[in-house]
Every structure is written in structure tokens, then in C-alpha cells.
């Protein structure tokens, strides 16, 4: 059902045609979220903080986007503006073609959001009652959604606890109930802030799989923020990096990581290189040296094979025993740190 427009979706509900939500489909490329020239400033005069500074992007249906940035970059302000929880000073946001400022109720009928983890849900209600409550907010009746809720609870490993009050569940399970409640209505877009907080490794992986399934099979569009870049790298199709209220990178996750693909090498030598050798290596080869117990880890970014052999010769001449050498693959964490670093005064830009 998610691959349809808001209008055709409504028509389908009116015609009581069969639910096609579980059928796999290709993303249609239709723009579901459009943010254009968004600006938000808090305070005035000397105390003014420009939290969002002319941000624009479009997100097609069925895409998972990781929104990243250091503390204070403007992620929350951007998301809250998209959800109508903060009124922007300028710019427009539309969701499924509906202007959030013009008709927020209709725009938000397409959206589910999990912004505060397990505080999203009612702890005295059972798991199922929570789901029914949140589906009810979207005008869906409990009897109509029971089967879909059972499937959702099954996939999240919560079915056996459907009739248990939330306050009797572990922190990780409460987090999953919160996600299930976000999905209790049939929405086109979900915003998730730190969705794996408090989840163990297994539960996090179940959540990754569920997010990919939602995007690939149900064509749900997902905007995700997390300080855990492993999750973002594992599930996001695309990454938008914010800094100081502006978009500083916006690309497919794989392309962004590939962009930073360099022939980096990590050498591990026994003992410590003498100070004069360390400064020679740093000047000539731009390496970093880090002590690690009885060994020293020497990293060289952008090394060609000639550099690798020249470095090994230097180690050998200095009588340093080479314990290990490996090429280093960048991950999203490294890409993120380098993109942010390039923005700092004196960075590459
Ligand atoms: N209500 C507010 N009043 C004043 N300043 C605010 C307010 N909300 C956010 N800010 C400021 O706006 C800037 C952007 O904050 P925002 O919370 O949007 O960033 P963030 O990327 O979500 O940060 P974090 O990762 O720390 O949550 C920061 O400098 C923050 O201090």
C-alpha cells in the first residue's frame, strides 16, 4: 500500500480493496519528503543561534536516510521542523505532497515518529492496547488492524507479550514496543531517533532487518538518527551529514564510504621507533604513530605500494621488527569524522 500516492491510498481504503502492504515492490522514486530552504534561529541579537541554515533535500519513497551530525549540528531542529513541532523561520516541508505548514494534520497522518524511545508509550497499557491506541489516533479500528498488529508483534518478537502491561517488560522490549506503536498505523514515513538504544546485539539486528523489510517490501520511507554509526551504515541507503545547521554531505551510503576509499595501511611494529625516526616518518610519509602496549601502531593514509616498501625499509634499517601490516577499509564512522574535520578552520573544505 505504501507505494501508492496519498490520494490513491485513500481511494483504496474507500473501496475496501485488498491490502497489498506485504507484497514486495521496487521503490517508485516518487518524492515523499521535500525540504526546501529550511531555516530556524533560536533567540535574537548576540544570543541568536542559527540552528538550521538553509537546508534542502528530497527523499524518495522507500528510502532509509541516516541524518548525522555532531552535537548541536541541527538534526533535532530539522526533524522537529519536519514534524511541525518547531515552527521554522523560512522554508517549506512537504510530506507525501502535503505542505506541513498548510495542512499539518493531513501531512502528519502519513507520519509515525519515535523520538523519545520508550517514553513514547503508555506503560500501564498492555503491548496490544498501546498499538490499538496509536492505530486509533489515525482513525483505524482495533478489529481492522488486529491481524496486521499480530504480524508486527511477531516480527519484533513481542507476540508472546501482547497482553502484558508495558511496565513489566525489560528496557529493550519497551523500546521495541515503542517502535511497534510507531508502526501501529499504516504510515508512509517514520522518523526514528536512536531506535536501538537499550537493545542488545540480537534485538538490534532484528530491528535492522525489520527496517530494511519496511523500506524494501512496504515502501516505507525512514529517517533515522543515531550516534551509533554502525546502525546507520548497516541500514541506510543514503546519509545526510549536517554541521552548523547546513548540509555538508548528502550521498548514497556506499558512495560516501567509497569516496573516502584510500589505500591506507596500518603497520604494527615491536617496541617504539626512536623520536627522530618518528618525526622523519611523520614528515616524509605523513604517518601517525600510536603506542599500543609493547608495540606501536603506525598508520599511513593514501599510501601507494612504493610508499609501503619505503616505510618497511625504514623500519628494517632502524631494526624495528614488523609484527603486522594490513590495509585499512574506511567505515562510515571514519568518513563522518573526516567530513566534519574538513569543515574545521584549516580543514580541506
Ligand atoms: N529551544 C532552543 N533554544 C535555544 N537554542 C536551541 C534550542 N534548541 C536547540 N538550540 C540550539 O540550536 C543548535 C542546534 O541544536 P539541535 O538540537 O537541533 O542539534 P542536534 O544536531 O540535534 O544536537 P544533538 O546531537 O546534541 O541532539 C544548538 O546550538 C542548540 O544549542
Q: What is the pLDDT of residues 271-299, one digit of tens each?
A: 999 999 999 999 998 899 999 999 999 99
Comma-separated ranges of CATH 3.30.70.260 domains in the chain: 262-328
> Which pLDDT score is estimated for 175?
87
pLDDT at 172: 81
Pocket of ligand 1 (CB under 6 A): 42-43, 49, 51, 69, 71-77
Q: Which residue has the higher pLDDT, 314 or 343?
A: 314
The model's pTM is 0.75
Atom 28, ligand 1: residue with shortest CA distance:
72
Q: Do the Cβ atoms of 330 and 337 come closer than 8 Å?
A: no
What's the confidence (pLDDT) of residue 20?
30
Ligand 1 atom index nearest CA of 78: 18
Query: Is the pLDDT score of 5 beyond 50?
Result: no
Determine the distance separating the centroid of ligand 1 and the alpha carbon of 259, expressed in angstroms. 29
Cβ atoms 39, 31 nearer than 8 A: no
CA distance 184 to 122: 14
Give me ligand 1 centre to Cα 245, in Å.
9
Q: Residue with the nearest Cα to atom 3 of ligand 1?
A: 42
Spatial distance between the Cα atoms of 78 and 68, rounded to a whole number of angstroms: 11
Q: Which of 326, 260, 258, 313 is nearest to 285 (CA)?
A: 313
| Res 11: pLDDT | 35
Does the structure show a pLDDT above 90 at 61?
A: yes
Over residues 165-179, the mean pLDDT reads 90
Nearest one of 283, 345, 292, 347 to 314, comparing CA atoms: 283
pLDDT of residue 334: 76
Q: Cell digits for 44?
A: 535574537
CATH 3.40.50.300 in the chain is located at 6-258
Mean pLDDT across the stretch 61-76?
93
Mean pLDDT, residues 6-34? 47
Average pLDDT over residues 244-267: 84
User: What's the rounded mean pLDDT across residues 306-326?
Assistant: 89
Whole-number percent of the chain with pLDDT over 70: 88
CA–CA dist 111, 117 (Å, integer): 16
Q: What's the 82 CA to ligand 1 centre distance in angstroms?
A: 15
If you take atom 26 of ligand 1, which residue's CA is the nearest one? 71
Query: Region 257-267: what's the mean pLDDT?
Result: 77
Average pLDDT of span 74-93: 92
Instruction: Look at residue 33 in the predicted model and tell me its pLDDT.
Output: 96
- The residue nearest atom 29 of ligand 1, judged by CA position, is 72
Which among 86, 19, 33, 38 is positioned nearest to 64, based on CA atoms? 33
**pLDDT at position 26, please?**
45
* pLDDT at 24 > cutoff 60: no
Is 250 a residue whose pLDDT tops 90?
A: yes
Q: How far, in Å, is the centroid of ligand 1 from the Cα of 79?
A: 11
For ligand 1, the distance from its centroid to the CA atom of residue 246, given in whole angstroms, is: 13
Neighbours of 123 (CB within 10 A): 14
- Please write the tens of the pLDDT for every residue from 192-224: 988 888 788 888 888 888 899 999 999 999 999
**In sequence order, what DSSP letters do the residues of 112-178 get, joined into one string?**
EEE-SGGGGS-TTSBHHHHHHHHHHHTT--HHHHHHHHHHHHHHTT-GGGTTSBGGGS-HHHHHHHH
Whole-number pLDDT of residue 339: 80
Does 27 have pLDDT greater than 50?
Answer: no
**Complex ipTM:** 0.97
Q: Average of pLDDT values for 312-326?
A: 91
Ligand 1 atom closest to residue 73's alpha carbon, by position in its atom list: 21
* 283: helix, strand or coil: helix
Cell for 233? 551504515
What's the pLDDT band for 16 if we cut at 50, 70, 90? very low
262-328, CATH topology level: Alpha-Beta Plaits (3.30.70)
Taking the centre of ligand 1 as the mean of its atom positions, its distance from the CA of residue 311, in whole angstroms, is 45
Q: Whose CA is nearest to atom 4 of ligand 1?
A: 42
Check pLDDT > 90 for residue 340: no
Q: Measure 43 CA to ligand 1 centroid, in angstroms.
A: 12
For residue 74, how far is its CA from the centre of ligand 1 (angstroms)?
6
Calpha distance 166→286 (Å, rounded): 55
Q: Which fold has domain 6-258?
A: Rossmann fold (3.40.50)
- Tell me how far apart the alpha carbons of residues 68 and 227 are, in angstroms, rounded to a whole number: 8
Q: What is the mean pLDDT of the chain?
A: 84
Q: Which of 48, 53, 73, 78 to mutate to test the pocket of ligand 1 (most atoms within 8 A of CB)?
A: 73
The answer to whether residue 336 scores a pLDDT higher than 60 is yes
Identify which of 45, 75, 117, 227 to mutate to test ligand 1's pocket (most ligand atoms within 8 A of the CB).
75
Q: For residue 2, what pLDDT is reported?
A: 34
- pLDDT for position 347: 57
Could you tell me the distance, in angstroms and rounded to a whole number, from the CA of residue 42 to the centre of ligand 1? 9
Amino acid at each position: 500500500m505504501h507505494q501508492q500516492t496519498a490520494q490513491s491510498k485513500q481511494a483504496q481504503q474507500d473501496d475496501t480493496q485488498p491490502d497489498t502492504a506485504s507484497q514486495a515492490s521496487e521503490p517508485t522514486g516518487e518524492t515523499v519528503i521535500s525540504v526546501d530552504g529550511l531555516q530556524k534561529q533560536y533567540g535574537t541579537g548576540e544570543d541568536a543561534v542559527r540552528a538550521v541554515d538553509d537546508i534542502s533535500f528530497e527523499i524518495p519513497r522507500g528510502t532509509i536516510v541516516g541524518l548525522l551530525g555532531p552535537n548541536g549540528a541541527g538534526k533535532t531542529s530539522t526533524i522537529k521542523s519536519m514534524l511541525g513541532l518547531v515552527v521554522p523561520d523560512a522554508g517549506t516541508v512537504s510530506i507525501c505532497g502535503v505542505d506541513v505548514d498548510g495542512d499539518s494534520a493531513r501531512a502528519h497522518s502519513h507520519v509515525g515518529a519515535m523520538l523519545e524511545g520508550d517514553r513514547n508509550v503508555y506503560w500501564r497499557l498492555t503491548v496490544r492496547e498501546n498499538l490499538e491506541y496509536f492505530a486509533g489516533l489515525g482513525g483505524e479500528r482495533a478489529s481492522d488492524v488486529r491481524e496486521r498488529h499480530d504480524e508486527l508483534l511477531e516480527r519484533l518478537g513481542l507476540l508472546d507479550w501482547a497482553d502484558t502491561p508495558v511496565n513489566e517488560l525489560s528496557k529493550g522490549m519497551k523500546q521495541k514496543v515503542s517502535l511497534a506503536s510507531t508502526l501501529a498505523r499504516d504510515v508512509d514515513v517514520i522518523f526514528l531517533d536512536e531506535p536501538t538504544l537499550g537493545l542488545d546485539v540480537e534485538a538490534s539486528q532484528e530491528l535492522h532487518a525489520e527496517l530494511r523489510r519496511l523500506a524494501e517490501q512496504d515502501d516505507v520511507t525512514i529517517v533515522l538518527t543515531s550516534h551509533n554509526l554502525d546502525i546507520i551504515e548497516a541500514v541506510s541507503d543514503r546519509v545526510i551529514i549536517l554541521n552548523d545547521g547546513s548540509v555538508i554531505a548528502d550521498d548514497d551510503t556506499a558512495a560516501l564510504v567509497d569516496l573516502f576509499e584510500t589505500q591506507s595501511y596500518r603497520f604494527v611494529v615491536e617496541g617504539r621507533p626512536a623520536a627522530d625516526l618518528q618525526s622523519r616518518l611523520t614528515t616524509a610519509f605523513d604517518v601517525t604513530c600510536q603506542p599500543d602496549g609493547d608495540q606501536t601502531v603506525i598508520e599511513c593514509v593514501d599510501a601507494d605500494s612504493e610508499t609501503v616498501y619505503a616505510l618497511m625499509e625504514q623500519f628494517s634499517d632502524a631494526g624495528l621488527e614488523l609484527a603486522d601490516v594490513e590495509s585499512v577499509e574506511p567505515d562510515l564512522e571514519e568518513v563522518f569524522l573526516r567530513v566534519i574535520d574538513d569543515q574545521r578552520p584549516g580543514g580541506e573544505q
